Chains A and B, each alone.
Chain A
Amino acid sequence: MSDKKNPNEVPDTGHLWDGNLRELTNQPPKWWMNTLYLSGLFVVVYLILYPAIPLLNGATKGILGWTQMKRLNETVVEIEKIRAPYENKLKGMSATAILADDELSNYAVRSAKVLFGDRCAGCHGTGGSGNPGYPVLADDDWLYGGNIDAIQQSIANGRNGMMPGFGTSLNEQQLDDLAQHMLALSKGSEHAAGKELFVSQGCIGCHGMDAKGMQMMGAANLTDAIWRFTPGTLESIKYTIKYGVNSPGAEETRNAEMPAFQQQLSETDVKKLAIYVHKLGGGQ
């Protein structure tokens, strides 16, 4: 009878519960146990090969000398290898020549995207969408010229806007007339009293007889729909005329300062950025 209850004669733990319950000690499958031993072996091998055991200062190094930084540097080297042929070509070419080559200018745009995000987007906005006080780069209105060389110049050497304030030489009525003239110009008409002041006060010296500005000096085109200092309201225009731009000594003056990047960036990076900006939508 006893062998009927335990037909396969599996050994048990020897403990009997409730007079009839025994715990059998069946062995796990051999392959399963072997896998368990193998995984243990894997752990030991891993501990020897790789950094693993934390110590008070750092951790065990592992005999392979593997570190995350080394791995990172290796992958950086791999990427540099892929980039090298392009980078070498860009080095020897002018920005104009790069722009004329579809493949190279595509490469420049893609690789400048991060540069633009790091160095330019803080003021000019992502995609050159502009910010209050900082010009939009995606439009076709350029203070210092929109061809590739002018853009490269602007990035390399920076730009400083300059316009004297007229707050001391003009009275409130005159300021108002002049600002009215600006508003009218942007809509294609004129304001007679303002126009007179525009000529007599010497505005034409920089902005030109036709008020279309002068890119040599960074003087804005006053006849188009785009305002250097937004919003294009009468108040805002009056403010600019009154306090000027980067006017020495005037605290309330408008700021228009673009830092030079040739110290911080390589010449190739400046070229890449110039192409990126040129291709934002308004390059000429």
Chain B
Amino acid sequence: MNKKPIQTDLKNLEELYHEAEYWHVNAGGETIHAKRMPGTFRHIKWITMSIWLAFFFGPYLRWDGQQAILFNIPGRQFHIFNITILPQDVWMLALVLLFFALLLAAITSLAGRVYCGYFCFQTVWTDIFIWIEEKLEGPPAKRSKLDSAPWDIKKFRVKFIKHSAWLAIGLFTGISFTLWFGDAFQLWKAYLTLQAPLFAWGTIGVFVFFTYLFAGFMREQVCFWLCPYARIQGVMYDCETLLPTYDFSRGEPRGKLKKGSRAEGGEQGDCIDCKQCVAVCPTGIDIRHGQQEGCITCALCIDACDSVMDKVHRPHGLIRYASLDEIEGKPTVKIYKRPRVLIYFAIMLAAIGGIIYGLTNLGALELTVLHERQPLFVLQSDGSIQNKYVLKVLNKTDSDMPLILTISGHDAMKLINSGKPFMTRHGRVTAHTVFLRIPGDQLDAERISIIFRVENIDQTALFAEYQSMFFGPARN
């Protein structure tokens, strides 16, 4: 028997046990009271969070006397400034979704979960809720103490104000959400007079409940166990992705601050094990164990560590945005040499190209012709064959439009009782039935391809065409 492999196994086992010692799962059993510290990334976070102000105040924007952005679901149209988007243009929505999916992939591949750390509503609302909590209850230590303290008038008052503020934010969130789907001012009026539709109240109720639950109580648990994007983004990293990383070669071996650091010729690393990086982490992880599922890459630990490095007069960047390659001393790759990122951006460009094409070629008219199938054709008393068609004209302009119909494809074709122009209502599909006749003796095929063309009476540049068929009796 060779003894060597057994020894190796034992060593691996020891490592496993060592891992298990700090393998600590918080499934909501403990509340994380993160410390809040000023710093560069705290500033950036405030700025990126403020983008959500648009969510609250966007609906009040006006454009040409109308709501600038309105998603009119019952009316089946979206208004975005002077653009009207109808269900027929929904393919552009697919491109918009593609663009944002790829944007998420590209950014994540470049700099980690930027979305999670700086933009995600879960992060933003949680941060605001904690900000309120800190204003009312004080710093983390005081909050923990208050939590375990017995109930008295003072505790009740503080908690009552806090929960009311949370619910108020939830309410404002819900109301603001609904305002995107109806006229903002009218909806406010309906809310204030308690006459809004039940569906609107229900939507607000759902928002209040989940805002309160997710941002007030579940917080990082949502990122840990509920959010699929947290998991998806994790697998988009590679060794070249910039992430908040602990520079272990510089920091280890860590230890309490004392004489004998490496800078002074000793053995000890730069990490003084002050645990400030853990204290500020909103998801309660220790970044010094390396990148892990709980890290939303918000970089608040960088702020904390830098402030400590200032105090102990060491350079910044013990925890910093760095790729794994960089930390391990391998050469780093430039962005334009990373095929994955290039492919992401190429697809994003294609999606943007498609959206721009779509928006500039929306087309004012769209024509569809449905051939009546029962009966396919009808023999008339004079021996001619009649076909019936239903024209569906989509008028995307914002005014009703008189159209004239012309049909080409057969010389002897006659349009029955529809020579006169017909009106199409704006923003919707107008149906118009027409009958076509061809004398039986001049019909030389069972099927003839014909082209319908509708054009605006006053403006012949506004037209739409559709190819259809004329059917006659079977030939033999």
Contacts and interface: CB of A to CB of B under 8 A. Distances in A.
Interface stretch (B1-9, B348-356, B381-389): B381-389
B378 A139 contact: yes
Contacts, number: 74
Nearest to A186: B383
A168 interface: no
B27 A138 contact: no
B422 to A, nearest CB: 9
A141 B381 contact: yes
B380 A141 contact: yes
B17 A4 contact: yes
B380 A31 contact: no
- Interface extent on B, as a size class? 20 to 34
A127 B374 contact: yes
A128 interface: yes
B433 interface: yes
Contact of A8 (B20, B388, B431): B20
B21 interface: yes
A106 B379 CA distance: 25
Nearest to B21: A7
B20 A7 contact: yes
A232 B76 CA distance: 52
Given A7-B20, A225-B383, A225-B440, A138 B378 contact: yes
Which of A8, A128, A140, A221 counts the most B-chain CB atoms under 10 A from its CB? A140
Interface string A1-27: 000110110000000000000000000
Contacts of A280: 388
A31 B381 contact: no
A226 interface: yes
Contact of B386 (A125, A279, A281): A281
A130 B221 CA distance: 68
Identify which of B17, B375, B435 gathers the most chain A CB atoms within 10 Å of its CB: B375
Interface in B326-381: 372-375, 378-381
A78 interface: no
Chain A CB within 10 Å, residue with most, of B373, B374, B379: B379
Contacts of B23: 8
A71 interface: no
B62 to A, nearest CB: 33
A281 B221 contact: no
A226 B225 contact: no
Given A31-B221, A225-B383, A225-B440, A136 B17 contact: no
B181 to A, nearest CB: 22
Contacts of A140: 380-381, 386
Contacts of A129: 374-375, 378
Interface residues of A, number: 29
A7 B24 CA distance: 10
A32 B375 CA distance: 60
A91 to B, nearest CB: 25
A139 B24 CA distance: 82
B90 to A, nearest CB: 26
Interface string A106-136: 1000000000000000000111111000001
A125 B374 contact: yes
A171 to B, nearest CB: 32
A31 B375 contact: no
A232 B23 CA distance: 92
Interface in B419-444: 431, 433, 435, 440
A30 interface: yes
B432 to A, nearest CB: 10
A279 B388 CA distance: 10
B375 A138 contact: yes
A125 B372 CA distance: 14
Contacts of A31: 27-28, 218, 221, 225
Interface string B381-399: 1110010100000000000
Contacts of A224: 381-383
Contact of A30 (B28, B386, B433, B440): B28
Contacts of B382: 224-225
B434 to A, nearest CB: 10
B379 A225 contact: yes
Interface string A195-222: 0000000000000000000000000010
A224 B225 CA distance: 79
Contacts of B431: 106
A85 interface: no
Given A30-B27, A140-B381, A5 B386 contact: no
A58 interface: no
A184 B440 CA distance: 17
Nearest to A224: B381
**Which 8 pairs from chain A and chain B are nearest by CB?**
A129-B375, A29-B27, A224-B381, A127-B374, A225-B383, A141-B381, A126-B374, A138-B378
Given A8-B24, A225-B379, 5 more contacts: A7-B21, A224-B383, A279-B433, A282-B378, A282-B380
14 contacts: A7-B20, A8-B24, A29-B27, A29-B29, A31-B28, A127-B375, A129-B374, A138-B378, A139-B379, A140-B380, A140-B386, A224-B383, A225-B440, A279-B433
Interface of A: 4-5, 7-8, 28-32, 106, 125-130, 136, 138-141, 221, 224-226, 279-282
